[in-house]
Structure 1
Amino acid sequence: MTGGAQVMWDEAVTGYNFGPEHPMDPIRLALTMRLVEQFGLDRTAKVVAAKEAGASTLRLVHHAEYIDAVRRASESPESADGSYGLGTADDPAFAGMHEASALIAGQSVGAAEALWRGDVLHAVNFAGGLHHAMPGTAAGFCIYNDASLAIARLLELGAERVAYVDVDVHHGDGVQATFWDDPRVLTVSLHEHPRLLFPGTGWPEETGGPGAEGTAVNVALPPGTADEGWLRALHGVVPELLDSFRPTVLVTQHGADTHIEDPLAHLAVTVDAQRAAASSLHDWAHEYAAGRWLALGGGGYAVVDVVPRSWTHLVAIAAGTPIDPETDVPEEWRQLVYARTRASAPRRMTDGRRPAWRDWHEQGYDPANALDQAVLATRRAAFPAHGILP
C-alpha cells in the first residue's frame, strides 16, 4: 500500500445534465474541481480519469434490459416514456445519457480498483454517489448506481467485507436494495425521516434480508436537525458498527444536501459539520479498514454556496492537507463563479460554526429529545444482530 490519495476527474462528467430547469446542475461539479485546483489539491492528490464502465461492469448491479433501455433513451430521448424510470420529471432522458452515466460509474469503479491494487489509500469521486438508482430502474436523479457498482467490484476482486456509510439527506435506498441479502456489505444511512422526504424508505426497522440481518442500518432524522444532533447521530451509530463489522474497505457517500440552505430538504447542517463528518469518516477508515477509503459525492443543490466548499474539504481531507475552515475562498474562484452564474460566491471556507456534539455514551440518552429517540430506535433495531448493546 503506497498511501496517498487519488481524485477521479474527467471534464466529461459534466455531461450528466438533465437540463436547465433541473436542480442537479452539473456546474456544481465543474465549480468544485476549479476550487480543488485553486487550493492546489490537484498537486497533493493524483488526478486520474477512468474509462466508462462497460456492459459487463454495469451488469454487476444493473439488469441487462435496463442498460438496454438507458441506451435507447440516450440515443432517442424523445422516446423515453417513463418506462424503467426514464423520461420522468426526476430523470428526464437526454442525449448521451448512457455515456455520461457510465463515465461517472467508471470513475467510482476505477477508484475502487486503485484502492484494491494498493495504488492509493484514499480515492474520491465527487461526481459519484448516485445512490438511488435500482438494479432495474432509474430514480431520484440517478441512472447508474456507481456506489453499488464500486462495492460490487470490490467484492468481485476479493474484498471480504465492505462498509458503506451514506450521509446524504436522502436515504441511500439503491445501495441498500442491491445488497439487502448480502452479509458481506454493511449499509448505514443517516437521512431525513422517510415520512417527510423522498424516497420514503429508510426506517430503523429496515435491517437486512434473511441471512444478512443487521447489515442494513438506518437513522431517520427529525426535520430541522442541525450540526450537533447530526454529528451526535453519526458518532452514536457508525463507529461501534464499524468496530464490529471490521470492513476491508470503507465506502462513504457525502451528499451535501443536508445543508440548511439546500432547497430540497429540511435539515439545518452547515459546511463545518459536513467537514467534521468527512474528517471522522477518514479517521474511521484508518481505525477500522486499514485506511482504505473511497469517498463519493451525491446530492447537493445549493450549487454555489455549499457543494464546492463541502467537497473541496472532502478532497483536502483525503489528500492529507485539510483546509482550515477560516481560510478565505480564492478570489480568482469567486470571479469565476460570478462569470459562470452571476451569483456571489462565499468568502470563506466556513459557515462560521464550530461543531460540537454530545457523546452518546458519555452524555447519556434524553428520552424527551427527538434526535435521541431516532438514534435509539436505530440502535435497538440493528445493534443486537452485531452483538452490541443498544
Structure 2
Amino acid sequence: MTSPTFADLTTIGVGGSIARFIEPDSRVGVIEAVEDADDRGVPLCVIGGGSNMLVSDEPFMGFVVRDARRSIGVPDEVAPVEGDDRTVHVNAEAGTNWDDLVEFCVRLGLEGVEGLSGIPGTVGASVVQNIGAYGQEVADSVDSVEVWDRETKKVVELTPADLHFGYRTSALKSSMYQAPATPADKYFPTPRYVVLSVTFALRHSATGVVNVGQLARALGVETGTRLETQAIRDAVLAVRAGKGMLEDPNRYASPWMRGTKDTRTIDAAMEALKSVNGSTDPDYNRHSCGSFFMNPVLTAEAAAKLPEDAPRFAAPLPDGSGAQGVKTSAAWLIDHAGFHKGFAVHEGAAASLSTLHTLALTNRGSATAADVAELARTVQNGVESAFGVRLVPEPVAIGIDLR
C-alpha cells in the first residue's frame, strides 16, 4: 500500500499526505526510526491513535512513526495479596490502545483507570497529555515511563516527579511548546522524550470509587460510593456516548487502522454504537479530536470579570508558580458566547460543533483541516470578545496556527 494520509489516521479524519510512514514492531525499530528522522533533520511525528491532533491539509514532508507494539504484561503476576499492600504493576508498550489497557485492567480486577474508559488514543500518548476524566488522571497511577531521549540519545526511565504532571500536560508535552499553542523551535510535533512503555501501579480490587457527581447520578449512587470497576467502566462509556465523546469504531475497518485495537473492544464498541444510535452507521459527532479546548485556569482577578453564574473551581495556575487560580468551563464559555450545539460558520458547512457537546469540533463527512481551523478560530474570537478569555486548543496543531 502507499502511505496513508493524516485523514486516514486521525479520529477527526482530516489532514494531508505523508512523505514516509513507518510502523516499527520492535523497541529497537522505534528508536531507529526516530533516530533516522533526527539524523536527517526532517520533521518527525510520532502518532498514537490520532485522537488529539489537527493536521494541516498540506503534505507532511517528514517521517510519521506509529509504534506497532501492543503488549501488556503484569510483572507482579497478580500474586495473591499479602499483608496490606494491594499494589499490582502493569506494563504496557507505547502502541497499546488505551481502552484496551483499561478493559484489561478491569477484567483482571484492578482499580485505578476505570474512570478513563473510552478515551481514544494509546498508552504512549496518555502520559504526554496526562489524560483525565471522571475523577481520575493518568498521573494518579503512573509508576514509571521508559522513554528515548532524543537529546542524549539514551533510553531513560522517568518517575512521576520527573514528568511534572499537570492539568492536561507533562514534561513531555512541555518540551514541544515555548508558550501555549506556540511550538518550540526544536521538538515539535514530537516531544524530546519518545515514550517506549509505561508501568502503572494499580490496586488489586474489584471495586472503585465513584468520584464525580455526574457519574454518581448516572449510577444512582452518592459521590464517594465504592462500586464494581466494571459497573463504573460501563457507566463512563455510557455517559461519554451520550456526549458523543467516544471514537467512531467504524474507523477500525480502514486498512490503515486494522490491528491497532483489540477486536473484542471493537465489537463491544460497535454493539454500543448500535444501541445508542439504532445502527452502526458512521457517527459524525464522534469524528472529532475529543475536547478541542482546555478549560481555562485564570487568576482570581481575571475570574472575577466572568459572569456570576460561570463555573469556578480552585486549580493551580499553569505557570508553574504553585499559586492558586480559578478553573472555569470552556464548554460554558463557548455556549454562553452564542456558539451552541451544532454551530457552523455557515449553513451546510462541512465542520461544526457537535450536536451533543459544544466542546467537540466535528467533521461532518467532508471537512478539511482548514474548515476545522476556521471553526476553531471563530469560536476562539467569539469567546475572547465576550469574556476576555482566549481559549487554548487541546489537540496538537501541526501546520496550523491556533494561538
TM-score by length of 2: 0.28
The structure carrying a bigger helix percent of its residues is 1
Which is bigger in relative contact order (C-alpha 8 A, separation at least 6)? Answer: 1
TM-score by length of 1: 0.29
Structure ID, larger Rg = 2
The structure carrying a bigger strand percent of its residues is 2
